[in-house]
Amino acid sequence: MYTCVDEKERQRKIAYSSKGLDSLFLTYGLRDPRTQLIRYIGKSSSGLNRPNCHRKPSFYLNSTTRLANWCKNMAAAGAMYEIAILQFCRTNGEELEDAERSWIRLFRQDGYDLTNLTDGGDGRAGSVVSAETRAKMSAQRKGRKLAPEVVINMKAAQVQRHRDHPITDASRSKMSASNTGKIVSDTTRSKMSVSQLNKRPYTAEE
């Protein structure tokens, strides 16, 4: 469900553009339908594709972030967040990052319990991960296997991306030119070789 922010939030100087929902660059809030409170603020350079990604089980079932846990909690209750468009931006870059930081700061100042881990912008501002936390995160991920249905969905999504956005001849030429003259070390070659072992090649017929 896609909604504009409500009147009370408009009075908090939330800017709502007259542009359509197909605008690529925007900041958004995820609203809990049970409390009508915004719990997460993010930015997107792909319109509504980005905010819709969080509702996928493949996202929240394989993560332990506050956002993922909130989504799990809603799904268990038979609910899911609503998307509130906060602001449209003209470009993807500094303007979009500044907008995200501004909205996060505004909502936190107003007492909203956001699930954002950082102050926004580049995704890491305001977040300091200690060596101990890094070690715990690493240990949690070791040996973890994705559920079969998640793997299937990820493969299907990748195949669909290849179909929807095939690589053009111009792009191939640019990639070729960018790699011309690069020297790859023996160590890197060995790693690349190992990573390709038993990998089934992609085919357009899949």
- The CATH number of whichever domain residue 11 belongs to comes to 3.40.1440
How many CB atoms neighbour CB 117 within 10 A? 14
Domain with 71, as residue range(s), is 2-139
Is the CB of residue 38 less than 8 Å from the CB of residue 29?
A: yes
Whether residue 172 sits in one domain with residue 118: no
Cα Dmax for the chain: 62
For residue range 172-204, list pLDDT tens digits in order: 888 888 878 878 888 888 888 877 776 665 554
Q: Does the residue 194 lie in any domain?
A: no
Whether residue 29 sits in one domain with residue 107: yes
For residue range 127-170, list pLDDT tens digits in order: 555 777 777 777 776 777 777 877 787 787 777 777 777 778 88
- Exposure on the CB side of residue 23, measured as CA atoms within 13 A: 20
For residue range 56-92, list pLDDT tens digits in order: 998 888 888 999 999 999 999 999 999 999 998 888 7
Q: Average the pLDDT over 36-61 and give the result.
A: 91
How many CB atoms neighbour CB 201 within 10 A? 5
pLDDT at 23: 54
Whether residue 169 sits in one domain with residue 125: no
- 12: Cβ–Cβ under 8 A, 6 or more apart, which residues? 106, 110
Number of separate domains in the chain? 2
Q: Does the residue 196 lie in any domain?
A: no
Whether residue 108 sits in one domain with residue 6: yes
pTM of the full structure: 0.53
How many CB atoms neighbour CB 184 within 10 A? 10
Whether residue 169 sits in one domain with residue 79: no
Whether residue 80 sits in one domain with residue 19: yes
Whether residue 174 sits in one domain with residue 113: no
How many CB atoms neighbour CB 75 within 10 A? 14
Whether residue 150 sits in one domain with residue 111: no
